[in-house]
A and B are shown apart, each in its own frame.
Chain A
Amino acid sequence: MKRLLGAALAATMLTAGAVQSAEVKIGFVTTLTTGGAVIGIDQQNAVNLAIEHMGGKMGDLDINLIFGDDGFKPETGKQVTDKLVKQDDVDFVAGYIWSHVLLASRKSVLDAGKFLISANAGPGPVAGKHCNENFFSASWQNDQTPMAMGEVLNQNGVKSIYIIAPNYAAGKGMVAGVKRTFKGEVLGTDMTAWPTQLDFSAELAKAKASGAEALFIFYPGKAGGAFMKQYQQAGLKETLPLYTVFTVDALSLPKFQAANFTDVLGSQFTQQWDPTLDNDQNARFVADFRAKHGTYPSFYAAQAYDSMFLIKSAVEAVNGDLSDMDGMRAAMKAATYPSVRGEYTYGNNHMPIQNFYLREVVVGDDGNWTTKVVKTVYEGHQDTYAAQCGL
């Protein structure tokens, strides 16, 4: 009896396996609960829109998409990644907003010989010493964006800055990045508890007392909104101009607008993408996203959307033969898919070599607050960790 049952079970699994081969299984890990959920839901919307634009298919294969919630915690992120890899046996794992979650989860995916596509996080180790042939970034390496901001500071003639950033993998990368390119003096650096600390009164008082000419910060998600408000309440706009990365985004702007927080208008930050970038893919993405959800997509959404088209290019290059890892890898490395940021290439570590723009918050044509491109800061910029990568 037991043997019969076993045989029956094996047979069912075989049939299930046969069904599976007609589809591509993609796991997408993001934050769907806690305060970080607002980012995760934006990414989820973008991924669903991408699949709608693909007509639910990559080549001849149906798309089977499974979302995982990391709960904003590295340990939960690793658990859900393990589940996607082992239980669901996905072909690709994409997503990851947070650097510490990506660092905790990467081994689970890569050791199982699957592709890992980051739709946001880009910590140094993943780009350098621990680079992997099966890892691709649809976003950036953490240091790149603040390095571009360091250049902007130089161009604006700023002589000294004060830095406030959260104390975790990405925060450290951001600080390292701006320090690498900024030629003036850094008068002080405060690293705050992450993600718990949302009150920055002590750090702002220190920054002011330091006598620095400008303040550089990195606060993604809701901490960014909190920081911007406290900065304004402290009345530092005239004496201590603010330079930010990943702090003001399309998720916080509608909230700022609802609260009529006009101080945020005109604030500038660097990024590899903007809704106004002129290419067909971006125009379609931004227009349809807005039609569907009423708000501008965030850069998180743009990268999530890109990650799906990157995977699609791989699947189509091998005509749906998902066992052809080399073929899929070569296709992704070529980066021929239509990215919403325009064309870019991949370095040896599979991090994008791409442009970085200075964006500014403006009132859009329809009255909604959005951003526009002021200038191009970097053209074809490669991260500094690529040299440490043995690929």
Chain B
Amino acid sequence: MDYTLLFIQTLNGVQLGLLLFLVASGLTLVFGILDFVNLAHGSIYMFGAFICASLTYYLGNFLWAVLVALPLTGLVGYFLERIVARHLYDKDHLDQVLATFGLILVLDTSAHLIWGPEGISVPLPAWLDGQVEIFAGAVIPTFRLLIIGTGLVVAGGLYWLVNFTRLGMLIRAGASNRTMVSALGIDISTLFALVFALGAMLAGLAGMLISPITEASIGMGGQIIITAFVVIIIGGIGSMKGAFVAAILIGLIDTLGRSFLDDIFQLFMSEAAAETSAPAVSAMMIYILMAIVLAFKPLGLFPPKVR
């Protein structure tokens, strides 16, 4: 067993998990509190990436671009809530799915019109573009460590926000019983808009962080949104803790599956068969996990207490 490789792959898994958490936390906030199924959450992730990519060229530095792009993405979220989402809160979930699916098409085409089809490659500043040797042989790109760091800070920040602030109290109350919250005289309209904008910023941040690794491109949101839904279903819809645990779990399972499944398969089948079947099975593993979790805990790992 190569422990250095195992360590590196675990870090890679945690990094993927934290990125997923950024997307899923926004999704679970909106789904859990506003009871609103937002398929277009992935498109906001894409918008965050594109806004940040443009700003990187305009400002000349990736980190400044992230700082400016964050509030801008929040604003995009705010206006989407005002213009589209707001009118759908009292419709049922199927209507919301249809409407936000339409929104995906609109947003993807808008991005196509604004930035063109070719996608934007995002350069990193030199000090982030290198590698860090954690111990002998265990080398990891500096930027991946930054993603892990940022993910943990945001997770900590959200934990503080949800558990120790007035806004967090309202969010938790809203997740449990939104009618009661509005009956107590809370301005639910502003709260909803804030939550939506916060969710958009989180998704946007994930898009910004992934863009130097891949690039800002049309349709990038469609790939992550499905996994993000799996995360919030496993974690329990509306639960921030659940989203965190499930995201890390899925990141690890996906990465470790891709790394070691073919070696494991080779113990009992031919090399050629293992090479073909391992990627197919590792692509299914997160869904298998979801099925198992739902079989034993239909509401997910950490369902919000009252619903």
Contact = CB atoms under 8 A, between A and B. Distances in A.
Interface of A: 33-35, 37-38, 41, 167, 189-193, 196, 198-199, 201-203, 205-206, 208-209, 222, 225-226, 229-230, 232-235, 251-252, 255-256, 258-261
A261 B123 contact: yes
25 contacts: A37-B112, A38-B118, A167-B279, A191-B275, A191-B278, A192-B258, A198-B220, A199-B213, A199-B214, A201-B15, A205-B9, A208-B139, A209-B2, A225-B214, A226-B214, A230-B213, A233-B124, A233-B141, A233-B143, A234-B139, A235-B131, A255-B121, A255-B215, A258-B121, A259-B122
Closest 9 CB pairs of A and B: A226-B214, A259-B123, A37-B117, A233-B141, A259-B121, A255-B121, A201-B12, A235-B131, A38-B118
B279 A255 contact: no
B97 interface: no
Contact of A234 (B4, B131, B256): B131
B118 A196 contact: no
A203 B258 contact: yes
Contacts of A225: 119, 121, 214-215
Contacts of A35: 117, 119, 217-220
Nearest to A198: B214
Nearest to B272: A189
A258 B112 CA distance: 19
Contacts of B57: 258
A241 to B, nearest CB: 17
Given A192-B258, A229-B213, A256 B121 contact: yes
B8 interface: yes
B100 interface: no
A228 to B, nearest CB: 9
Given A234-B141, A255-B119, 18 more contacts: A35-B117, A35-B219, A38-B117, A190-B262, A196-B223, A202-B258, A205-B12, A222-B119, A226-B215, A233-B141, A233-B144, A233-B213, A251-B118, A252-B121, A258-B57, A258-B121, A260-B123, A261-B123
Contacts of A34: 218-219
Contacts of B131: 233-235
B84 to A, nearest CB: 22
A35 B210 CA distance: 16
B298 interface: no
A300 to B, nearest CB: 13
Contacts of A235: 130-131, 139, 141
Most buried by A among B8, B210, B214: B214
* Size band of the interface chain B makes with A: 35 or more
B269 interface: no
B212 interface: yes
B276 interface: yes
Interface in B192-221: 210, 212-215, 217-220
Contacts, number: 115
A261 B213 contact: no
A257 to B, nearest CB: 9
A191 B16 contact: no
B221 to A, nearest CB: 11
A255 B118 contact: yes
A252 B121 CA distance: 9
Most buried by A among B121, B210, B212, B275: B121
A35 B215 CA distance: 11
B121 A261 contact: yes
Contact of B279 (A191, A205, A252, A260): A191
B255 interface: yes
Contact of B4 (A189, A199, A209): A209
Contacts of B121: 225, 229, 252, 255-256, 258-259, 261
A367 to B, nearest CB: 18
Given A226-B214, A233-B129, A255-B215, A38 B119 contact: yes
Contacts of B139: 208, 234-235
B42 to A, nearest CB: 12
Contacts of B186: none
Given A233-B213, A255-B121, A258-B121, A193 B255 contact: no
A163 to B, nearest CB: 10
Given A209-B2, A255-B118, A202 B12 contact: yes
Most buried by B among A37, A193, A199: A199
Contacts of B143: 233
B284 to A, nearest CB: 10
B130 A209 contact: no
Contacts of A260: 123
Contacts of B124: 233
B5 interface: yes
Nearest to A260: B123
Contacts of B223: 196, 198
Contacts of A189: 275
A192 B212 contact: no
Contacts of A230: 141, 213
B59 interface: no
Contacts of B220: 35, 198
Contact of A193 (B130, B215, B256, B283): B283
Interface in B113-167: 117-124, 129-131, 139, 141, 143-144
B61 interface: no
Most buried by B among A35, A191, A226: A35
Contacts of A192: 258, 279
B106 interface: no
A201 B118 contact: no
B259 interface: yes
A193 B279 contact: yes
Contact of A229 (B4, B130, B212): B212
B280 interface: yes
Nearest to A233: B141
Contacts of A41: 117
A226 B215 CA distance: 7
B5 A205 contact: yes
Contacts of A205: 5, 8-9, 12, 259
A97 to B, nearest CB: 14
Most buried by B among A38, A234, A251, A259: A259
